[in-house]
Amino acid sequence: MRAVELILALDPTVVEITARSLAIAVTSTAIATILVVPLGGLIHFHNFKGKRAVVNLIQTLYSLPTVTVGLVVFLLLARSGPLGSYGLLFTPGGMVIGQTILIAPIMTGLTIAALSGVGPAVRDTAVSLGASKFQAIFTIMREARAAMLAAILLGFGRALSEVGVAMMIGGNIRGYTRVLTTAIALETSRGDIEFSMALGIILVSISLIVNLLVNRVQGNWWA
Q: Which residues are at the interface with other proteins (CB under 8 A)?
A: 78-79, 89-90, 171-176, 178, 182, 186, 189-191
Measured distance CA(169)–CA(181) in Å, rounded: 13
Min separation Cβ 46 and other proteins, Å: 38
Q: How far is the CB of 180 from other proteins (least distance, A)?
A: 14
Give CA–CA dist 14/3, Å, rounded: 10
CA distance 223 to 219: 9
Closest by CA position to 91, among listed 182, 170, 172, 21: 170
Residue number with CB closer to other proteins (46 or 79)? 79
- For other proteins, the closer of residues 90 and 156 by Cβ is 90
CB of 94 to other proteins, least distance (A): 10
The answer to whether 194 touches 3, Cβ cutoff 8 Å, is: yes
Whose Cβ is closer to other proteins: residue 41's or residue 70's?
70
CB of 97 to other proteins, least distance (A): 15
193, 173, 190: which is closest to 16 by C-alpha?
173
Positive/negative CA dihedral, 89, 92, 98, 100: negative
Pick the closer one to other proteins by CB: 123 or 178: 178
